[in-house]
Amino acid sequence: MPIWKKQSAAAQQMDILLFDAFSLQCLANVVEPMRAANKLAQQTLYKWRVLTLTGASVCSSSDMEIHAQGPLSEAAGDTLFVMPSYGFADLSTSGTHRALRAAERRYTCLAGLDTGAWLLAGAGLLDGYRATLHFDEFERFSETFPKVSAQRHRKVLDRNRITCSGALAAFELMLDLIGQTHGQALRLDVSALFMGAEQTGPESAARIYSTNTSRVIELMQRNLETPLPLSVLSQRLGLSQKELERRIKTELGIPPRTLYRHLRLSQAHRLLMTQDLSIAEIALRSGYENASAFTRAFRLAYHTTPRALRKGR
C-alpha cells in the first residue's frame, strides 16, 4: 500500500463556521486539501460541513452565496474552523461569543482562520493560548486581548487551539494537520497535487518543509527517471549520508530510500491516470529498468497492477 496509508479509522468531522464577507479562497484552501487527502487515500479521512450561526446562507467577499448545512448550535465534531474575514469586529458580539463558548464543549479543537482569532479571543477562548491573526490587524489584536499571547507567525498550533494569518497560511495549516494525522508522505502528495512536482523548491515549499528537506525532495523529483544513489544525493546537498538519513527520518518519519520510491511510484500513478503512455514507458520514466520490476513495486504499493488501475480509471 502507499507508505502513507494507514488502517481505516473514523473520519474526522471538520466543520467550517462562515460569516458574511468571508474569504472564498480561505474556504477553498481548507476544503480542497481534505478532498484531495480522501481521494489519494481512497477512503474517507475527513468529512466537512459549512455552518452559520443561524443556518442561513452567507455571501463571500466576492459576492458568491454559500448555503449552510445547518446552524452551529446543532453541530458537533472534531474541529471547528471559525472563518470571518472583512467586518470581523462588527461580528464580535455577545451573541457570537455565547455561541462559540457553547460550541467549545462540542468540539475537540477550535481554529480561527484569517481574522477568526478575533472572535475566539472576544469569547475568551484564547486566554492563556498562543495565537496569530491576519497581519494587518495584528497590532490591534495584541493590544485588545492582553490575555492572549499574540505571535507574529503564519500559523500557530497551541494544544487544542489553532490560528492562522490568512488564506495562504490556511493551506499550509491543512497540510500540517494532514501530515500530523496521516503521515508526512500524504502531506507531500497533497501539496504536490496542487503545486506540481516542479514547485517543491525553496520558492513554494520552504514554508511547508525545512530547507534541507525541500532540497532533498526537489533533487529527487528532478531525478525520478534515473534515480541518484543516496551517496550522490547527500554529496550534492553538502551532507553526509548519515545526516541525510537522519534529517529525512526525523521530519517525514520514513527513510530517504522509502521517500524516493514513493515519489517515483506517485509519478507513475499520475501518469497512468492522466496519460496514454505504455506501461514500459511509464516504468522508465519512474526509474524502473523493466516493466516487470515496476509492476511488482506498484502492486506492493497500491494493491493493484498498473494495467488494472488504468483499465478502471
CA distance 138 to 33: 27
The CATH number given to whatever domain includes residue 242 is 1.10.10.60
The backbone torsions φ and ψ at residue 163, rounded to the nearest 5 degrees and listed phi first, read: -140, 150
Pair 169, 200 in one domain? no
Instruction: Give the mean pLDDT of the chain.
Output: 86
CA distance 312 to 278: 16
Pair 155, 41 in one domain? yes
pLDDT digits (tens, 9 = 90+) for 170-196: 998 999 899 888 877 788 888 877 765
Is residue 189 in a domain? no
Instruction: Tell me what pLDDT residue 200 has.
Output: 40
Average pLDDT value for residue range 234-241 = 89
Is residue 246 in a domain? yes
Q: How many CB atoms lie within 10 A of CB 198?
A: 11
Average pLDDT value for residue range 271-285 = 88
Pair 139, 215 in one domain? no
CA distance 145 to 118: 9
Is residue 71 in a domain? yes
Pair 90, 164 in one domain? yes
End residue of a domain, out of 176, 205, 236: 176
Pair 210, 313 in one domain? yes
Instruction: Tell me what pLDDT residue 195 has.
Output: 63
Per the CB < 8 A criterion, the answer to whether 125 and 104 are in contact is yes
CA distance 77 to 106: 7
Q: Is residue 223's pLDDT more than 80?
A: yes
Pair 60, 103 in one domain? yes
pLDDT digits (tens, 9 = 90+) for 161-173: 999 988 888 998 9
Report the length, in residues, of the chain: 313
Average pLDDT value for residue range 261-270 = 87
The share of the chain scoring above pLDDT 70, in percent, equals 91
Pair 152, 209 in one domain? no
pLDDT digits (tens, 9 = 90+) for 26-74: 999 999 999 999 988 878 999 999 999 999 999 998 899 999 999 999 9
Pair 281, 221 in one domain? yes
Sign of the CA dihedral running 206, 208, 214, 218: negative
What's the domain range around 289? 196-313
Instruction: Tell me what pLDDT residue 197 has.
Output: 42
CA distance 39 to 59: 28
Pair 137, 277 in one domain? no
Is residue 185 in a domain? no
pLDDT digits (tens, 9 = 90+) for 63-122: 999 999 999 999 999 999 999 988 888 899 999 999 999 999 999 999 999 899 999 999
Average pLDDT value for residue range 259-263 = 88
Is residue 250 in a domain? yes
Average pLDDT value for residue range 285-307 = 89
Pair 268, 200 in one domain? yes
Instruction: Tell me what pLDDT residue 313 has.
Output: 59
Is residue 3 in a domain? no
SS3 labels along 154-173: CEEEECCEEEECCHHHHHHH
Pair 244, 207 in one domain? yes
Instruction: Tell me what pLDDT residue 132 has.
Output: 92
The CATH number given to whatever domain includes residue 120 is 3.40.50.880
Is residue 25 in a domain? yes
158, with CB counted inside 10 A (0-12, 13-18, 19+), is middle
Per the CB < 8 A criterion, the answer to whether 220 and 185 are in contact is no
Instruction: Tell me what pLDDT residue 70 has.
Output: 94
Q: Domain total for the chain?
A: 2
Which helix H or strand E contains 255, and what residues bound it? none
Is residue 188 in a domain? no
